[in-house]
């Protein structure tokens, strides 16, 4: 984690860190401190949500909170300052530089003028995940009244040449040098600045857009300069790029088509609709599922099985003193049955290496458990699940579920999975066709257990029955192997004694 200092190292700034796996942004979920609160090194000051998980951020120095730069619910890029701290609260009032000029406060007036005159020659500042955006592409604060007044006295405006307006704090620092320069005897009248529409970039200015948006525009062949920005402070959004690409791809109509009257009910319907921003875990899940569905060739097989003996075993384990205090349920036995099936069919526990065109078989099982949380669907996994005893597996499952429900699952807990179980039965669903977690070879859907008429020992009796569905990557697992794995799981659930005989 990095911080910058200004005003003689008194005011220190804490930047949004890269909390894991090279993520480029995070949303501030909650602030635990307010302006004026005292903080100490290592104290958690806020909770942020990335595309992987919710993470608490500790601050790396002592002091008093001077400013919170962003409110709750704001998405912040990695490397942006989110909080400033007064490390010398007893030193009395001090003149501070505005938030957007912290990097300039220690520079001389001459060097500041040179930077404003030649913005394209400035270097890019290193941040936590590489190099940040060029200064001309960062978000700018509105021009202060002091800068406008200076322009009215004949000081050349650099709003067009430099994408950022001079900061109010510079004005006072540079006024002496500016006033000391002799104006030409017959200075030509300054040409009026061209009118710029609200969303269009100034002439010669670099369009404002985040790196992912720039990449999107490049991939779609769209010129950012020609796009009218609709984002805050003139920032070009992904929607602006898509709109420009659609407009460019639309064929020129040979004749003006007849305008169809809009449905009268449309405004009324729109007023009854709610738009929910897709971000964080839900956005990452959507992208991962689309990538998985259109990358790995899915095959799903089904089996309906009598699990009456498994239900009896669950009840006996609940009464067993050795399992006292542990969570015992059918999912525990299903997880153990899947681990036994993988041990009998190790080729199913593999991954596809696209770059090297290789199948990577894994001798460890990181068992993922799909968990529905208020933040969306996440899939944390139990590391080295194949080596755990039944009590250890029960404890690991309980810890995993509790951590997920509290929103404390870390990115490390969700990475490196090999196979997954999704328990749709808790919602009363018989089964489904689950989509593979990206990078994994198989996913087992465990349906609801219901009393149904079943032929048992030649007679129709009410039995506990469930349906299992196994989806697998057909590049790794052919029909024979997938069928063997699913049959083994069903066999264990039908007769749990196989947990011992097949071990």
**pLDDT attached to residue 332:** 96
Are 20 and 52 in contact by the 8 Å Cβ rule? The answer is: yes
Beta bridge partners of 325: none
* Consecutive H or E run containing 96: none
Reported CATH class of domain 208-243: few secondary structures
Residue 375: predicted pLDDT: 73
Q: Is the dihedral of CA 449, 453, 455, 461 positive or negative?
A: positive
181 phi, psi to nearest 5 deg: -80, 135
Task: Give the count of beta carbons closer than 10 Å to the beta carbon of residue 373.
Answer: 16
Q: What is the pLDDT of residue 291?
A: 75
pLDDT at 134: 45
**Domain 281-501 CATH superfamily:** Chloramphenicol acetyltransferase-like domain (3.30.559.10)
pTM higher than 0.95, yes or no? no
Tell me what pLDDT residue 427 has: 92
Interatomic CA distance for residues 220 and 39, integer angstroms: 47
CA gap 100, 365 in Å, rounded: 49
C-alpha–C-alpha distance, residues 136 and 119, integer Å: 7
Q: What is the pLDDT of residue 382?
A: 95
- Give the per-residue pLDDT at 371: 87
Two tokens, residue 167? 């900061």
CATH code for 3-177? 2.40.50.100
pLDDT, tens digit, 9 for 90 and up, residues 79-104: 889 999 988 877 766 554 444 444 44
What pLDDT is stored for residue 442 in this prediction?
96
What is the mean pLDDT, run by run of 10 residues, along the chain of 503 residues? 51 82 77 90 86 80 89 86 86 53 41 43 42 43 44 41 42 46 44 44 65 78 81 81 74 54 66 78 72 82 97 95 92 97 96 90 95 82 95 94 84 89 94 91 96 95 97 94 97 96 87
Q: Do domains 208-243 and 281-501 have the same CATH topology?
A: no
Cα separation values, 354 from 74, 287, 291, 351, 363, Å: 37, 19, 14, 9, 20
Active-site residue list: 474
- The CA-CA-CA angle for residues 255, 257, 262, to 5°, reads 165
User: Domain extents for the chain?
Assistant: 3-177, 208-243, 281-501
The radius of gyration of the chain's CA atoms, rounded to the nearest angstrom, is 31
**3-state SS, residue 374:** coil
pLDDT for 257 equals 53
Question: Cα angle vertex 147, ends 209, 119, to 5°?
Answer: 40
């Amino acid at each position: 984690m990095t911080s910058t200092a200004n005003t003689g190292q008194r005011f220190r700034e804490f930047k949004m860190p890269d909390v894991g796996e090279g993520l480029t942004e995070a949303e501030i979920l909650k602030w635990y401190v307010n302006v004026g609160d005292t903080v100490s090194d290592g104290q958690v000051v806020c909770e942020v949500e990335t595309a992987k998980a919710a993470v608490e951020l500790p601050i790396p120095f002592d002091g008093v909170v001077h400013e919170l730069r962003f409110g709750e619910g704001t998405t912040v890029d990695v490397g942006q300052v989110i909080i400033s701290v007064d490390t010398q609260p007893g030193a009395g009032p001090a003149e501070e530089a505005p938030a957007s000029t912290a990097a300039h406060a220690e520079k001389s007036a001459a060097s500041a003028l040179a930077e404003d005159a030649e913005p394209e020659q400035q270097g890019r500042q290193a941040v936590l995940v590489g190099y940040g955006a060029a200064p001309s592409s960062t978000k700018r604060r509105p021009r202060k009244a002091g800068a406008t007044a200076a322009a009215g006295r004949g000081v050349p405006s650099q709003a067009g040449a430099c994408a950022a307006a001079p900061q109010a704090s510079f004005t006072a620092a540079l006024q002496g040098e500016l006033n000391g320069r002799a104006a030409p005897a017959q200075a030509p009248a300054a040409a009026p600045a061209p009118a710029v529409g609200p969303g269009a970039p100034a002439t010669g200015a670099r369009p404002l857009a985040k790196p992912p948006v720039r990449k999107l525009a490049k991939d779609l062949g769209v010129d950012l300069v020609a796009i009218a920005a609709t984002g805050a402070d003139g920032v070009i959004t992904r929607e602006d790029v898509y709109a420009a690409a659609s407009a460019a791809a639309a064929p020129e109509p040979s004749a003006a088509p007849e305008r169809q009257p809009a449905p009268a009910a449309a405004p009324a319907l729109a007023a009854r609709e709610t738009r929910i921003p897709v971000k964080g875990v839900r956005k990452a899940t959507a992208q991962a599922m689309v990538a998985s569905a259109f990358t790995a060739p899915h095959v799903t097989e089904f089996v309906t099985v009598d699990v009456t003996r498994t239900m009896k075993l669950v009840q006996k384990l609940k009464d067993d003193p050795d399992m006292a205090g542990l969570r015992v349920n059918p999912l525990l036995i299903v997880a153990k049955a899947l681990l036994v099936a993988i041990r009998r069919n190790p080729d199913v526990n593999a991954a596809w290496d696209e770059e090297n065109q290789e199948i990577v078989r894994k001798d460890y099982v990181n068992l993922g458990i799909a968990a529905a949380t208020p933040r969306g669907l996440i899939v944390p996994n139990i590391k080295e699940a194949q080596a755990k005893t039944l009590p250890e597996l029960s404890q690991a499952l309980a810890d995993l579920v509790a951590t997920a429900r509290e929103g404390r699952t870390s990115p490390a807990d969700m990475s490196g999975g090999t196979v997954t179980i999704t328990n749709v039965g808790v919602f009363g669903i018989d089964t489904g066709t689950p989509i593979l977690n990206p990078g994994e070879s198989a996913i087992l859907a465990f349906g609801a257990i219901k009393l149904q008429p079943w032929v048992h020992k030649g007679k129709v009796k009410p039995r506990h029955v469930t349906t299992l569905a196994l989806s697998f990557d057909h590049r790794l697992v052919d029909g024979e192997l997938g069928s063997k794995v699913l049959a083994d799981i069903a066999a264990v659930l039908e007769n749990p004694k196989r947990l011992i005989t097949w071990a």
